[in-house]
């Protein structure tokens, strides 16, 4: 198997098996597109019935082609595809784009055909893109490969796109084209029977002229590969990622909180863990990509604002600050320079209001100062085109300063583009990312700042806990698996927590009221009594929780009442020390097939129920990530000293997150784990309810 995708993206010669003289057929359109894009290599139409297609000599079989062919399209009906893959193998073809649809997605017969052509491809070491896909485009002027049946003929640029959905891919490609932005490479890989999206991302990562990668995925066959390659590539360049279908997945029911809260966005967690920039709409994604394509990455979050009109800069500041940017004051040195160059009415500060009458001289000075200020990492410009100013000269200063690529610049450009054609063209040609709205420009800049944080981030280390006892957990899980038990009993769950040194309120199990009384006396009053049965998941819902019980007599009463009411055959009584009120937290874990587990953290009670104020991270959770999780819920301030109330022991909570991460990683049989609630105090933390589902 050849693992590089060069034959696919940089074909030296392309054959079209199933070339057609019918204008409105894929086998014709691909040839038309190759010609229109001025493909640099030879094109070989393959069709036994015709002599030529679009004026190019056709061959009866690919085996008749007199020269080497490294890439072939196959656009013939599914039953004939395996034989043609075989012929391509004999011919020495290295990569095949199967545009034809009607394989795995059509059921068993289609699946058999797919298996057949894949086996043949493997035998010859051929890589397959598709089936059921558009193909690739490479704008490298040395290649100009338009091996694709779509219609957007983008000019060379620095953004490379990979989309699982050809429809979404085509929309994004056209959007860049309409913005006047070039692209480097494009691919939509359809059914992805062989060449995967992660492999394509890696290929883009290695391509010197790709500055930003745009990824659209709906599902992942191999999330681990996606995650690992993602991490590797984001260290070098930004990956802007988007998915969809969150409402659909969100509708799936689950037995625990985390299922309902996380199910809808699991792909986004993968994006984040990989260091990709997640986007939830195509507009934001394309605007950010446009900026990445032409501007250097800022080295920090401090922005200098230049404006020649008041209002829009106020809107910009809101959005910039929301996006994590800071607007530092200018240095005295800068102010002295600007006092010389600016008009009297200018406001010499950050934002720097150069006023509407500012011309090229004022703008140039403003740009120079911002570029020289050490406490400024990026420049945001609000530029309206006053009819009494030579705007083209201003635009030329813009172009000059942008060319130096010292710091990134974005612009909110306010004009009538049909009238200020000259000015617009100067900005466009200089690659200045300009936008109609202040918010849009600010968001695009904020995305770059986020990437800078990601690329410099120390992700921390995965703690290895030496004080745990895996044997205990092994025995419990073995026993449960043999009994085909899905919900672990309270006794088992708390024993597992103990084995992993995850603190919980003291507890014991009683079979009857006598045992419960003596347990309560041993634990010390007050106590809590909970019904313990495999069939009961939410204990308080069925009246299976009684808190703050202060005497032996009451223990006896509670046990008898529960026994009479619940009647589960396996009913036991979980007696637990009653804990005084503390901050209620929730920590959960949920298995993600092929990836590990998703860990959730949040405040319990209404914070999770109503506000859904929770954060997620994929295992393994490092020390840094655990601390970050604590700090990133909206209610984070409530974990610190707040209105006279002492903060909680955050280090301990962070440790529990890491221990839970270790537990579910060591025992992948655990499907769901829920500590809800955990009571956290100033000096200690302990779980008072725990559940494990296998
Ligand atoms: P479930 O979630 O199955 O309904 P819990 O064990 O979480 O049952 O108990 C319900 C509520 O009772 C908890 O959210 C908590 O507020 C309170 N509670 C449970 N155990 C204790 C305890 N040991 N000390 C103090 N309060 C408790
Ligand atoms: Mg609970």
> Are 426 and 395 contacting, i.e. CB atoms less than 8 angstroms apart?
yes
- Tell me the pLDDT band of 250, cut-offs 50, 70 and 90: very low
Alpha carbon nearest to ligand 1 atom 19, residue: 688
User: Which whole-number Å values give the CA distances from 123 to 85, 220, 566, 673, in the listed order?
Assistant: 10, 26, 63, 45
User: Which whole-number Å values give the CA distances from 259 to 566, 612, 674, in the listed order?
Assistant: 27, 12, 10
- Residue 259 reports pLDDT greater than 80: no
**Of all residues in the chain, what percent carry a pLDDT higher than 90?**
88
- Tell me the pLDDT band of 67, cut-offs 50, 70 and 90: very high
Tens digits of residue pLDDT in 328-376: 999 999 999 999 999 999 999 999 999 999 999 999 999 999 999 999 9
DSSP string, 339-367: HHHS-TT-B-SSSEE--TT--HHHHHHHH
458 or 63: which leads in pLDDT:
63
Structure tokens at 110: 């289609």
Pocket of ligand 1 contains residue 576 by CB under 6 Å = yes
- Tell me the pLDDT band of 254, cut-offs 50, 70 and 90: very low
Pocket of ligand 1 contains residue 366 by CB under 6 Å = no
User: Which whole-number Å values give the CA distances from 509 to 477, 492, 516, 574, in the listed order?
Assistant: 19, 10, 8, 5
Q: How far is the CA of 392 from the centre of ligand 2 (A)?
A: 66
Alpha carbon nearest to ligand 1 atom 16, residue: 677
Please state, in angstroms and rounded to a whole number, the distance separating the CA atoms of residues 194 and 104. 13
- Residue 216 reports pLDDT greater than 90: yes
Neighbour-count burial of 129, counting CB atoms closer than 10 A to its CB (0-12 exposed, 13-18 middle, 19+ buried): buried
Tens digits of residue pLDDT in 436-491: 999 999 999 999 999 999 999 888 999 999 999 999 999 999 999 999 999 999 99
Report which secondary-structure segment, H or E, holds 7.
helix 6-9
Q: How far apart are the two ends of the chain, measured CA to CA in Å?
A: 39
Tens digits of residue pLDDT in 144-188: 999 999 999 999 999 999 999 899 999 999 999 999 999 999 999
* Domain segments of the chain as ranges: 1-134, 150-294, 296-456, 458-505+581-694, 506-578
Ligand nearest 605 Cα, by number? 1
Q: At the top level of CATH, which class does the domain 296-456 belong to? A: alpha beta
Report whether CATH 3.30.470.20 matches the domain 458-505+581-694: yes
Q: How far is the CA of 669 from the centre of ligand 1 (A)?
A: 26
Pocket of ligand 1 contains residue 547 by CB under 6 Å = yes
- Residue 262 reports pLDDT greater than 70: no
- Residue 560 reports pLDDT greater than 60: yes
Tens digits of residue pLDDT in 298-317: 999 999 999 999 889 999 99
Equal fold, 150-294 vs 506-578: no
Pocket of ligand 1 contains residue 527 by CB under 6 Å = no
- Residue 256 reports pLDDT greater than 60: no
Mean pLDDT of 249-256: 48
Note the pLDDT of residue 504: 97
- Tell me the pLDDT band of 264, cut-offs 50, 70 and 90: very low
Please state, in angstroms and rounded to a whole number, the distance separating the CA atoms of residues 175 and 293. 14
Domain 506-578 homologous superfamily, CATH: ATP-grasp fold, A domain (3.30.1490.20)
Alpha carbon nearest to ligand 1 atom 17, residue: 547
- Residue 257 reports pLDDT greater than 80: no
Query: What is the atom index within ligand 1 of the atom nearest the CA of 505?
Result: 23
- Residue 285 reports pLDDT greater than 80: yes
- Residue 2 reports pLDDT greater than 70: no
CATH architecture of 150-294: 3-Layer(aba) Sandwich (3.40)
CATH architecture of 1-134: 3-Layer(aba) Sandwich (3.40)
Q: How far is the CA of 659 from the centre of ligand 1 (A)?
A: 22
User: Which whole-number Å values give the CA distances from 62 to 22, 83, 120, 617, in the listed order?
Assistant: 20, 11, 16, 51
Query: What is the atom index within ligand 1 of the atom nearest the CA of 677?
Result: 14
Can you give the pTM of this predicted structure? 0.89
Note the pLDDT of residue 251: 43
Please state, in angstroms and rounded to a whole number, the distance separating the CA atoms of residues 602 and 81. 53
Pocket of ligand 1 contains residue 272 by CB under 6 Å = no
Note the pLDDT of residue 234: 96
* DSSP 8-state code for residue 483: T
Q: How far is the CA of 467 from the centre of ligand 1 (A)?
A: 28
Tens digits of residue pLDDT in 385-423: 999 999 999 999 999 999 999 999 999 999 999 999 999
Note the pLDDT of residue 374: 97
| Closest to 245 (Cα-Cα) out of 222, 221, 272, 216 | 216
Pocket of ligand 1 contains residue 691 by CB under 6 Å = no
Say which range, 376-385, 427-436, 474-483, 529-538, has the weakest mean pLDDT: 529-538
Alpha carbon nearest to ligand 1 atom 6, residue: 689
Please state, in angstroms and rounded to a whole number, the distance separating the CA atoms of residues 693 and 651. 27
Note the pLDDT of residue 379: 98
Pocket of ligand 1 contains residue 538 by CB under 6 Å = yes
Q: How far is the CA of 454 from the centre of ligand 1 (A)?
A: 39
The average confidence (pLDDT) of the chain is 94
Token look-up 């609000």 returns 382
Query: What is the atom index within ligand 1 of the atom nearest the CA of 539?
Result: 3
Note the pLDDT of residue 173: 96
Token look-up 């338009």 returns 146
């Amino acid at each position: 198997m050849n693992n590089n995708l060069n034959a696919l993206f940089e074909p030296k010669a392309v054959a079209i098996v199933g070339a057609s003289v019918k204008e409105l057929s894929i086998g014709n359109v691909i040839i038309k597109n190759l010609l229109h894009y001025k493909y640099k290599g030879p094109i070989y139409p393959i069709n036994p019935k015709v002599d030529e297609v679009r004026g190019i000599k056709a061959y009866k079989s690919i085996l008749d082609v007199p020269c080497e062919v490294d890439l072939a399209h196959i656009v013939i009906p599914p039953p004939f595809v395996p034989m043609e893959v075989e012929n391509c193998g004999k011919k020495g073809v290295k990569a095949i784009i199967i545009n034809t649809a009607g394989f795995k997605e059509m059921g068993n017969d289609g699946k058999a055909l797919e298996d057949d052509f894949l086996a043949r491809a493997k035998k010859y070491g051929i890589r397959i893109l598709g089936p059921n896909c558009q193909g690739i485009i490479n704008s490298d002027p040395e290649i100009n490969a338009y091996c694709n049946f779509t219609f957007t003929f983008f000019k060379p640029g620095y953004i490379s796109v990979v989309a699982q959905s050809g429809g979404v891919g085509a929309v994004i490609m056209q959007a860049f084209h309409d913005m006047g932005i070039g692209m480097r490479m494009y691919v939509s890989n359809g059914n992805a029977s062989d060449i995967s999206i992660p492999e394509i991302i890696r290929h883009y990562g290695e391509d010197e002229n790709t500055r930003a990668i745009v990824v659209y995925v709906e599902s992942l066959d191999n999330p681990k590969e996606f995650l690992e390659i993602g991490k590797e590539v984001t260290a070098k360049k930004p990956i802007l990622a988007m998915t969809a279908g969150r409402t659909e997945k969100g509708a799936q029911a689950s037995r625990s909180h985390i299922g309902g809260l996380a199910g809808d966005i699991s792909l986004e967690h993968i994006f984040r863990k990989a260091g990709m920039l997640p986007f939830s709409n195509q507009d934001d994604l394309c605007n950010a990509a446009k900026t990445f394509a032409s501007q250097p990455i800022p080295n920090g979050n401090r922005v200098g604002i230049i404006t020649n009109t008041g209002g829009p800069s106020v809107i910009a500041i809101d959005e910039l600050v929301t996006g994590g940017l800071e607007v530092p004051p200018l240095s005295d040195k800068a102010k002295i320079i600007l006092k010389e160059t600016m008009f009297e009415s200018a406001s010499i500060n950050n934002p720097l209001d150069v006023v509407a009458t500012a011309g090229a001289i004022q703008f140039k000075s403003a740009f120079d100062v911002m570029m020289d200020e050490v406490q400024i990492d990026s420049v945001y410009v609000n530029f309206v085109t006053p009819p009494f100013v030579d705007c083209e000269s201003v635009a030329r200063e813009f172009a000059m300063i942008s060319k130096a690529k010292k710091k990134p610049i974005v612009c909110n450009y306010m004009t009538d583009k049909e009238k200020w054609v000259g000015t617009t063209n100067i900005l466009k040609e200089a690659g200045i990312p300009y936008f109609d709205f202040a918010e849009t420009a600010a968001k695009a800049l904020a995305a770059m700042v986020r990437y800078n944080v990601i690329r410099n981030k120390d992700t921390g280390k995965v703690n290895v806990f030496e004080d745990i006892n895996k044997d205990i957990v092994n025995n419990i899980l073995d026993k449960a698996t043999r009994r085909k038990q899905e919900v672990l009993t309270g006794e088992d769950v708390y024993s597992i927590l103990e084995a992993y040194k995850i603190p919980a309120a003291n507890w014991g199990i009683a079979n009857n009221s006598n045992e419960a009384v003596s347990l309560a006396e041993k634990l010390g009053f007050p106590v809590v009594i909970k019904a313990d049965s495999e069939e009961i998941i939410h204990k308080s819902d069925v009246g299976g929780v009684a808190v703050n019980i202060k005497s032996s007599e009451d223990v006896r009463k509670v046990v008898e009442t529960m026994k009479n009411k619940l009647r589960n055959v396996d009913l036991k009584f979980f007696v637990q020390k009653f804990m005084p009120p503390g901050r209620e937290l929730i920590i959960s874990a949920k298995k993600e097939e092929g990836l590990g587990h998703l860990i959730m953290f949040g405040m319990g009670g209404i914070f999770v129920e109503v506000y859904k104020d929770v954060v997620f991270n994929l295992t393994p959770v490092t020390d840094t990530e655990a601390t970050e999780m604590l700090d990133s819920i909206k209610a984070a301030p409530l974990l610190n000293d707040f209105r006279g109330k002492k903060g909680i022991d955050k280090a301990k909570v962070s440790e529990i997150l890491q221990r839970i991460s270790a537990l579910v990683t060591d025992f992948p049989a655990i499907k769901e784990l829920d500590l809800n609630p955990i009571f956290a105090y100033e000096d200690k933390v302990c779980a008072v309810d725990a559940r494990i589902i296998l």
